[in-house]
């Protein structure tokens, strides 16, 4: 099972993300986001960041989680590749993420993601497998 | 033509009705011809037209322009107006890129004068106008305090800091500053993102394009707009960058809570909203005005660097290049405007998400210089074909809350576009057509390849036939910079 697949959306880009646990689902969604932004094979784990967020439900938590990482990318020029979720429930998530600062000689930006939207957002559990759909604004 | 999924009724050759049913409060009306309507039905955009019609206080119709395509929340190409007392304001009806817009510059230069210097023009523009991750002008350092002045004053801030002239302001929608902006309602995060990105182009479909007037459809109006056949033009397309995205994101969270608080039933969470007169609604509008003003300042600064680039690349003085502003339009915005509803004048909150204001001749908000012809409407096409200059009409004022299309509209997902572009050099193909392109990322060029878009000519022909805008001139590209 792949971590995620891209889905066709006329203006923007969407992902279907998979995971055997909810933690893995969230980590894979973050991986997908940065895989869309850059070539992750060129990114190393050099800096670590703690992330702590909260939301009204699991779906909003997913959007806020991805938005938080996008904000760090935008202001600190960070590219993340590893996502370790240490604790989470329906309303809260604590994680440690690592990656490195964008370097023009080494990294490429494939796509700029403007934002993580709530449109068509879903998280479901089927046959011991978690699946989420997220659409990004490009 | 009948369609089972949406029960579409034909009104005339260019308008289609989705009749009100179930929870819809008003009809949906789509501007398209038969062929385009078939294309439109391939994605989810008509469902989005229906979803918008569910929102409280929506007036007359939920409208879609012919460049409609699947967005998030509102369709792209969507227009909806809301009653000031019963209506709502929705950040999803404006979008993340608040006041994404287009401005058109004219010059005193002709196509032949610059045709052998295009390489130098495109390279100078690419160096002078920052695009790509982390790039910004080294000569621009802003304090938090200064950014707040940008948010309050928009293009006026840019001009008072030497980026352009006072005359420029007369040729910008809202004169480059939306009233009611309150920087205290903009989060620290938004300001932090705004600090680093003022005066940058951004990536995706944003660009600066140098072209020429390839066709004139109405000599008299073109003369009033200062456009001559073969005259060199410049189109700038960008918006409010990370600051706008953050304002939208912050307020979507506020509006999700507000929708619950005010018992507003949502068909899609992205349509979350609050009554216009509620504290949440007022605060969003005041923060949105800040982001809109930031975008006006952004396009104004880029205009200044376009002027400088022409001077440097062509060794012509500003007096010789005569670069002046034709107009600047917003195409992602919510505004308070007066319209006629059932024969009565009413103040409404008009949301335009991927749609352009198209006010008629003699409207108070049509700039003085254009009072006799109508407000200019600027419709960029894809990189390889052409763009159009139109003007607004009376019919637009009465039928579409003074609105028209905003661009070509995508037909292909970025994913499909990348697959089709694989193994091709889009830059080389464009060069063979005489169009030079410089982009920060090759992926951007692939995603934005001309075939990924509807033919803008078809879109513009529909709005003209439907009478909601009038064609004035066609512009063809010569060189383009993209993020």
List, for residues B134-144, the tens digit of each pLDDT value.
788 888 989 99
Q: Is residue B413 in some structural domain? A: yes
ipTM above 0.90 for this complex: yes
Report if residue B215 sits inside a domain. Answer: yes
Is B201 contained in some domain? Answer: yes
Q: Is residue B382 part of a domain?
A: yes
Q: Which of B189, B242, B268 sits opposite A119 (nearest CB)?
A: B268
- Say if CB B396 and CB B469 are below 8 A apart: yes
State yes or no: is B406 an active-site residue: yes
| Average pLDDT of chain B, as a whole number | 95
Q: How confident is the model at residue B2, as a pLDDT?
A: 42
Chain A residue numbers with beta carbons less than 8 Å from the beta carbon of B203 are: 109, 111-112
- For residue B378, give the nearest of B219, B162, B129, B211 by alpha carbon: B211
Domain membership flag for residue B3:
no
End-to-end CA distance of chain A: 26
CB-side neighbour CA atoms (13 Å) of B469: 30
Tell me the average pLDDT across A22-27: 98
| pLDDT tier, B225 (very low <50, low <70, confident <90, very high otherwise) | very high
Q: Is A21 on the interface with B (CB under 8 A)?
A: no
Same domain, B367 and B439: yes
For an interface test with B, which of A5, A7, A10 has the most B Cβ atoms less than 10 Å from its Cβ? A10
Is pLDDT above 80 for B4?
Answer: no
B151 and B242 together in one domain: yes
Q: Who among A60, A75, A117 is closest to B193 (CB)?
A: A75
Q: Is A77 on the interface with B (CB under 8 A)?
A: yes
Same domain membership, residue B348 and residue B215: no
Under an 8 A CB cutoff, do B204 and A120 touch? no
Chain A touched by B308 (CB under 8 Å): no
The reply to whether B83 and B172 lie within a common domain is no
Residue A9, pLDDT score:
77
Question: Residues B149, B58: one domain?
Answer: no
Asked if A112 and B202 come within 8 Å (Cβ–Cβ), the reply is yes
Residue B415 is nearest to which of A8, A75, A77, comparing CB atoms?
A: A8
Cβ distance B72 to A120 less than 8 Å, yes or no, reads: yes
**Structural domain total, chain B:** 2
Residue B2 lies in a domain: no
A39 CB within 8 Å of a chain B CB? no
**B440 contacts on A by Cβ (under 8 Å):** 109
Whether B1 is in a domain gets the answer no
CA distance B245 to chain A (A): 6
User: Residue A5: is its pLDDT beyond 50?
Assistant: yes
pLDDT tens per residue across span A72-108: 999 999 999 999 999 999 999 999 999 999 998 999 8
> Which tens digit of pLDDT belongs to each residue from B369-417?
999 999 999 999 998 899 999 999 999 999 999 999 999 888 888 888 8
Q: What is the pLDDT of residues B273-283, one digit of tens each?
A: 999 999 999 99
| pLDDT value for B1 | 44
Q: Out of B72, B134, B443, name the one closest to residue A12 (CB).
A: B72
Looking at residue B74, what is its pLDDT?
95
Which residues of chain B are within 8 Å of residue A137 when distances are taken between CB atoms?
72, 95-97, 245
Considering the domain architecture, whether residues B172 and B202 belong to the same structural domain is answered as yes
Q: Looking at the structure, do residues B85 and B142 belong to the same domain, yes or no?
A: no
State the pLDDT confidence band at B34, using cuts at 50, 70 and 90: very high
Is B119 in contact with B436 (CB distance < 8 Å)? yes
Q: Which domain holds residue A87?
A: 4-137
* B133 and B34 both lie in a single domain: no
Do B346 and B300 have their domain in common? no
**Contacts of residue B49, Cβ cutoff 8 Å, sequence gap at least 6:** B18, B28, B30, B62, B63, B64, B68, B75, B78
Range of the domain at B467: 101-335+362-482
**Chain B residues within 8 A of A135 when measuring between CB atoms:** 72
CA distance A92 to chain B (A): 15
Q: Are residues B233 and B265 in the same domain?
A: yes
B199-218 confidence digits (pLDDT tens):
999 988 899 999 999 999 99
Closest CB to B270: pick one of A75, A102, A118.
Answer: A118
Distance (Å, rounded) from C-alpha B167 to C-alpha B189?
34
- What predicted TM-score, i.e. pTM, was given to this entire model? 0.96
Count how many domains chain A has: 1
Residues B48 and B148 in one domain: no
Is B126 part of any domain?
yes
* Interface contact A77-B246, CB threshold 8 A: no
Q: Is A56 on the interface with B (CB under 8 A)?
A: yes
Residue A1's pLDDT is: 85
Q: Is the pLDDT of residue B66 over 80?
A: yes
Minimum distance, in Å, between the CA of residue B247 and any CA atom of chain A: 11
Question: What is the per-residue pLDDT for B409?
Answer: 81
Contact call for B256 and A13, based on CB within 8 A? no
Q: Is B188 on the interface with A (CB under 8 A)?
A: no
Residue A116 C-alpha, separation from nearest chain B C-alpha, in angstroms: 8
Q: Which residues on A lie below 8 Å from B415 (Cβ)?
A: 6, 8, 13
CATH number at residue B167: 3.90.1860.10
């Amino acid at each position: 099972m792949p971590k995620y697949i891209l889905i066709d959306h006329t203006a923007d880009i969407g992902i279907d993300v998979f995971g055997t646990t909810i933690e893995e689902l969230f980590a894979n969604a973050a991986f997908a986001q940065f895989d869309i932004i850059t070539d992750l094979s060129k990114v190393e784990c050099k800096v670590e960041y703690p992330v702590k967020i909260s939301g009204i439900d699991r779906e909003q938590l997913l959007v806020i989680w991805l938005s938080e990482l996008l904000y760090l990318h935008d202001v600190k020029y960070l590219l993340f590749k590893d996502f370790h979720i240490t604790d989470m429930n329906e309303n809260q998530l604590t994680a440690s993420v690592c990656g490195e600062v964008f370097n023009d000689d080494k990294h490429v930006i494939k796509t700029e993601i403007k934002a993580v939207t709530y449109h068509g957002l879903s998280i479901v559990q089927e046959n011991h497998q978690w699946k989420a759909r997220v659409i990004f604004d490009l | 033509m009948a369609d089972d999924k949406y029960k579409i009724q034909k009104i005339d050759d260019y308008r289609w009705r989705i009749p009100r049913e179930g929870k819809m409060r008003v009809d949906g009306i789509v501007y398209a011809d038969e062929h385009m309507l078939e294309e439109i039905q391939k994605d989810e955009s008509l469902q989005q037209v229906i979803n918008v019609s569910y929102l409280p206080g929506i007036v007359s119709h939920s409208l879609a322009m012919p460049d409609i395509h699947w967005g998030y929340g509102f369709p792209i190409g969507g227009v909806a107006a809301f009653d000031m007392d019963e209506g709502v304001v929705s950040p999803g009806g404006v979008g993340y890129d608040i006041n994404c817009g287009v401005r058109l510059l004219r010059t005193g230069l002709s196509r032949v004068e610059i045709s052998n210097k295009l390489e130098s023009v495109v390279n100078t523009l690419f160096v002078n106008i920052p695009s790509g991750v982390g790039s910004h002008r080294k000569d621009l350092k802003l304090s938090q305090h200064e950014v707040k002045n940008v948010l309050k004053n928009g293009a006026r801030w840019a001009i008072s800091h030497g980026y352009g002239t006072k005359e420029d302001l007369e040729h910008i929608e809202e004169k480059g500053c939306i009233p009611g902006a309150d920087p205290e309602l903009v989060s620290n995060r938004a300001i932090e993102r705004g600090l680093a990105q003022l005066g940058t182009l951004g990536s995706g479909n944003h660009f600066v394009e140098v072209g020429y007037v390839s066709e004139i459809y109405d000599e008299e109006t073109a003369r009033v707009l200062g456009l001559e056949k073969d005259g060199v033009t410049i189109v700038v397309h960008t918006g409010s960058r990370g600051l706008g995205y953050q304002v939208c994101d912050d307020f979507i969270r506020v509006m999700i809570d507000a929708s619950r608080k005010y018992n507003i039933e949502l068909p899609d969470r992205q349509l979350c909203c609050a009554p216009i007169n509620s504290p949440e609604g007022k605060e969003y509008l005041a923060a949105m005005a800040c982001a809109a003003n930031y975008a006006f300042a952004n396009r104004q600064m880029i205009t200044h660097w376009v002027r400088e680039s022409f001077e440097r690349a062509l060794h012509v003085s500003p007096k010789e290049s005569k670069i002046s502003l034709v107009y600047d339009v917003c195409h992602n915005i919510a505004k308070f405007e007066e319209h006629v509803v059932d024969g009565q004048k009413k103040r409404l909150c008009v949301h335009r998400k991927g749609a352009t204001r198209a006010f008629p001749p003699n409207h108070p908000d049509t700039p003085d210089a254009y009072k006799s012809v109508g407000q200019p409407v600027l419709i960029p096409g894809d990189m390889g074909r052409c763009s159009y200059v139109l003007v607004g009409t009376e019919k637009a004022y009465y039928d579409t809350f003074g609105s028209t299309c905003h661009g070509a509209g995508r037909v292909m997902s970025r994913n499909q576009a990348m697959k089709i572009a694989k193994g091709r050099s889009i830059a080389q193909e464009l060069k063979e057509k005489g169009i030079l392109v410089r982009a920060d990322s090759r992926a951007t060029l692939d995603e934005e390849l001309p075939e990924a878009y509807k033919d803008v000519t078809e879109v513009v022909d529909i709005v003209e036939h439907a009478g909601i805008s009038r064609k004035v001139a066609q512009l063809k590209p010569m060189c383009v910079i993209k993020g």
